[in-house]
Amino acid sequence: MDLGLVVSTLGRVESLKRLFDSLSDQLLAGDTLVVVAQRNLPEVEALASVYRSESRRIIVTTSPPGAARGRNAGVAALPADRDLLLNFPNDTTWYPSGALQRMRLLPEDFRAGALTVVDENGPKFVLPEPGAALTRWTVWSVIEMGILIRRSVFDRIGGFDPEIGTGAPTPWQAGEATDLLLKLIRAGEHPGFAWQPPALTVGGISDPSGLSSAERRHKLRGYGRGLGRLVTRWRYPLWWRFAFLGGGLFFGLRNRGTNALLDGWWVFLGRLEGMLGRTLGPAGALTAVTR
């Protein structure tokens, strides 16, 4: 099975170098890596040229801002005549040795599934056991770099919604992976969704890594708005919405290793804004990440 890896980046060359290093001895001639540089295009192209070879196909392109827009543009840049298996690393993602080979060994009839994403604190989410169904409840266990999906399936369900997610031109700054999987269920493409065993992972960094307290809380609020909007758009039960909203207050308590206790207020506020469909008071820059 040949792979199509699509990364959307703000042009963070140092982060991309780690990603490229991790792939340098794993990409095969049938694979394609697409880098969508929404800033610093010449610098990203220069870096890619160092790693590009006959056995490492690397395409650099660009798109309007927004990670979801970038990923859609990256998929569109892949060879149109091949049904590649897609994965969506961030520019801070890296692949452990042997990860791509494990992906290649998936069965030919594989359509969609998820793998574990780890950072310096361990797994970001614990996935359901292999064989469990993909449901509107289990979709919350998957983030973008953990998605595995065939190109044909991705195209049939319409790709990522460009109006939500990190960097989108709206206040709804998260939820594009969850939304994609909910569309997968709506389209009836989810039977056989394959949760991969914990041994198959990709690496990343924790969400607040490198951010000041103000930047971290701004990001949490923006992410909260996106997820709050999602539970309304997909008509989750009212009792679940209220539990989801109230649970935001305990975010800092549940994530004391990476967040402060009072960070939960910003998660709660963001989720409330998302459910209401508007921002409250001065929100500042709407994009969750600006650098």
Q: Residue 283: pLDDT band by 50, 70, 90 thresholds? A: low
- pLDDT by residue (tens digit) across 112-170? 999 999 999 999 999 999 999 999 999 999 999 999 999 999 999 999 999 999 999 99
For residue 229, the number of C-alpha atoms closer than 13 Å in the C-beta half-sphere is 24
For the chain, the structural domain boundaries read 3-203, 213-276
Residues 6+ apart with CB under 8 A from 232: 241, 274, 275, 277
The model's confidence at residue 95, banded by pLDDT at 50, 70 and 90, is very high
Q: Tell me, which fold does domain 3-203 have in CATH?
A: Spore Coat Polysaccharide Biosynthesis Protein SpsA; Chain A (3.90.550)
pLDDT band per the 50, 70, 90 thresholds, residue 290: low
pLDDT digits (tens, 9 = 90+) for 142-155: 999 999 999 999 99
pLDDT for 146: 98
The string of pLDDT tens digits covering residues 17-28 is: 999 999 999 999
Q: What is the pLDDT of residue 136?
A: 97
- Kindly state the tokens that stand for 15: 């982060």
Q: Point out which residues pair with 37 in neighbouring strands.
A: 9
- pLDDT for 232 beyond 90: yes
Q: Is the pLDDT of residue 53 over 90?
A: yes
Cα 231 to Cα 224: distance, rounded to the nearest angstrom: 11
User: What is the per-residue pLDDT for 200?
Assistant: 96
Mean pLDDT for all residues in the chain: 94
pLDDT the model gives residue 260: 84
Q: Tell me the pLDDT band of 284, cut-offs 50, 70 and 90.
A: low
Share of the chain above pLDDT 70, in %: 98
Q: What percent of the chain has pLDDT over 90?
A: 88
State which amino acid sits at residue 6.
Answer: V
E strands present in 72-174: 85-87, 112-114, 116-119, 122-123, 147-150
pLDDT score at 261? 85
Distance, in Å, from the CA atom of 238 to the CA atom of 208, rounded to the nearest integer, reads 30
Q: Which residues have a Cβ under 8 Å from the Cβ of 124 and sit 6 or more positions away? A: 116, 117, 118, 143, 146, 204
What pLDDT score does 167 carry?
Answer: 94
3-state DSSP call for residue 77? Answer: coil
pLDDT at 199 over 70: yes
How far is residue 141's CA from residue 244's CA, in Å, rounded to a whole number?
14
> Which stretch, 174-188, 208-222, 248-262, has highest mean pLDDT?
174-188
Over 70: is that where the pLDDT of 195 sits? yes
Cite the beta strand spans of the chain per DSSP E: 3-9, 32-37, 58-61, 85-87, 112-114, 116-119, 122-123, 147-150, 194-195, 201-203
